[in-house]
Structure 1
Amino acid sequence: MSLSQAQKKAYRSIGHHLDPVVTASENGISEGLLAELERALNDHELIKIKLAVAEREDRTAVLDELASASGAEVIQKIGKVALLYRANPKANPKLSNITRFENHHGRR
């Protein structure tokens, strides 16, 4: 699903104002976490997640596994927060962070 640098930049701009909707902790990746991630990506397309994991290498591994399991693309990772994107052509325009932003700013 490779995004262009311009798309990633636009999504980082949108993501800057988002709050984390999913938190991954030291407990590892559970079915519940994957289900919540799936729901959030379906609803919002662009989401911020919090990685409550102490070690940087472990955070990277958890993030890579979450992205791989969900089919999402990592847009940005700063410290313990990451921005993930997965397109949903049937996303609810009232929930999608992408559609809401574009409609609000007169794009599309």
Structure 2
Amino acid sequence: MLALTPDFRRGLKARAHALKPVVWIGAAGLSDNVVNELDQRLKSHELIKIKVASADWEIRNALLEKICGRLNAAPVQHIGKMLVIYRPEPEKTNS
């Protein structure tokens, strides 16, 4: 899982404010298809919002950690049923 500095995270939160959720995670949870879709969205956008159907904060938080671990992404924000994650483009990682 990537680590972000507080200043960089603050900038990402500001950028994410205007975003709409690109993936919804329903009752079926985190399937391989959902992980593949998240991976594709991160390749296209770097910063994405995810909406989770579960009302349980602990389940949503566990999903956030699992998603970030599987996709080598960084958690940016978890507010209500919205999760925001970030993964830089590969060429930006090497610079």
- Fold in common (TM above 0.5): yes
Structure possessing the higher radius of gyration over alpha carbons = 1
Q: Shift in Å at residue 45 of structure 1?
A: 0.2
Q: How does 1:43-54 map to 2 (within 5 A)?
A: 43-54=44-55
The one-letter amino acid paired with 2:32 is E
Q: 2:41 maps to which residue?
A: 40
Q: Which runs of 4+ in 1 moved over 2 A?
A: none
Q: Shift in Å at residue 90 of structure 1?
A: 4.5
Q: 2:28 maps to which residue?
A: 27
Q: 1:87 maps to which residue?
A: 88
Between 5-14 and 58-67, the greater mean CA deviation after superposition: 58-67
Rounded Cα–Cα distance in structure 2 between residues aligned with 1:70 and 1:82: 14
Q: Shift in Å at residue 62 of structure 1?
A: 1.4
The one-letter amino acid paired with 1:32 is N
Q: CA RMSD in A?
A: 1.4
TM-score, reference length from structure 1 = 0.78
Unpaired stretches in structure 2, ≥5 consecutive residues:
none
Q: Shift in Å at residue 52 of structure 1?
A: 1.1
User: What is the percent sequence identity of the aligned residues?
Assistant: 35
Rounded Cα–Cα distance in structure 2 between residues aligned with 1:3 and 1:58: 23
Q: Shift in Å at residue 55 of structure 1?
A: 1.3
Q: Shift in Å at residue 53 of structure 1?
A: 1.0
